[in-house]
């Protein structure tokens, strides 16, 4: 089954022009098969076929991966079923990826999914801001927090603004309303300590809008 799924995923990647190493396909197939199996017990994803999985989940992870340096330490915030963190770990094995979800049953499920897919990734059943605050310096400090489909920008800034000095940056996958979210956060005074910029965009297959990748960094207080 996973061999057939691997070929289907590879074909979808080729069709969309996504450059994914061939050696990643068996792991992607194993992950997708486990995710879809768990999805029958716990609602973790709406992308339950090869076309949707590649065009949404793999495409988003690939867009993020292009903006991660070699060997970065990455935390997937609110990982749910493991997207984008698990896919990042598969397509970029040089990264140090950890996953977290504050919903304990989701964290337990993704831990099993990771194990079934033959991966070894730390999974935390805790709020990401708590994990980040506990590693403000040293080798465990996170270079990048990756966030997809978790919360509006204003809510994210409310969570992570107080610990903005404890990690490098955030990379957020957002939809067409990202400018409204940014303007609302600015109106509420939540952008005084951060810089927000759009670093990438890519089309969503079958829709008339695109996904965007936002980078959120601590503002240099001396600038």
Return the DSSP state at 10: H
Domain extent for 146:
56-218
The reported pTM is: 0.95
Residue closest to 22 by CA, chosen among 5, 7, 4: 7
Strand runs (DSSP E) across the chain, as ranges?
73-77, 96-100, 123-124, 144-148, 169-174, 194-203, 210-218
Return the pLDDT at 144. Answer: 98
Q: Check if the beta carbon of residue 171 is closer than 8 Å to that of residue 214.
A: yes
Q: What parts of the chain have a pLDDT lower than 50?
A: none
Does residue 17 belong to any structural domain of this protein? no
Does residue 89 belong to any structural domain of this protein? yes
Return the pLDDT at 222. Answer: 65
Does residue 175 belong to any structural domain of this protein? yes
Return the pLDDT at 1. Answer: 58
Does residue 41 belong to any structural domain of this protein? no
Q: Return the residue matching tokens 């292009």.
A: 66
Q: How many domains would you assign to the chain?
A: 1
Does residue 48 belong to any structural domain of this protein? no
Return the pLDDT at 2. Answer: 74
Whichever domain contains 202, its CATH number is 3.40.50.150
Does residue 25 belong to any structural domain of this protein? no
Does residue 34 belong to any structural domain of this protein? no
At 30, is the secondary structure helix, strand, or coil?
Answer: helix
Does residue 211 belong to any structural domain of this protein? yes
Q: Check if the beta carbon of residue 88 is closer than 8 Å to that of residue 97.
A: yes
Return the pLDDT at 209. Answer: 80
């Amino acid at each position: 089954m996973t061999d057939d799924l691997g070929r289907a995923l590879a074909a979808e990647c080729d069709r969309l022009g996504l450059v994914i190493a061939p050696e990643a396909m068996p792991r992607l197939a194993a992950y997708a098969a486990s995710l879809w199996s768990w999805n029958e017990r716990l609602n973790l994803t709406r992308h339950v076929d090869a076309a949707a999985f590649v065009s949404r989940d793999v495409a988003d992870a690939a867009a993020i991966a292009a903006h991660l340096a070699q060997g970065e330490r990455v935390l997937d915030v609110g990982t749910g079923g493991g997207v984008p963190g698990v896919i990042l770990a598969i397509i970029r094995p040089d990264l140090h990826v950890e996953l977290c979800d504050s919903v304990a049953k989701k964290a337990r499920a993704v831990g099993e999914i990771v194990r079934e897919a033959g991966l070894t990734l730390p999974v935390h059943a805790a709020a990401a801001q708590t994990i980040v605050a506990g590693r403000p310096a040293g080798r465990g400090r996170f270079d990048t927090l990756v966030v997809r489909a978790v919360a509006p920008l204003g809510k994210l800034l409310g969570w992570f603004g107080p610990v903005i000095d404890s990690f490098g940056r955030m990379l957020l996958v957002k939809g067409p309303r990202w400018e409204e979210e940014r303007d609302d956060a600015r109106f509420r005074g939540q952008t005084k300590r951060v810089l927000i910029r759009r670093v990438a965009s890519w089309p969503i297959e079958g829709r008339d809008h695109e996904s965007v990748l936002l980078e959120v960094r601590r503002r240099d207080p001396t600038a």
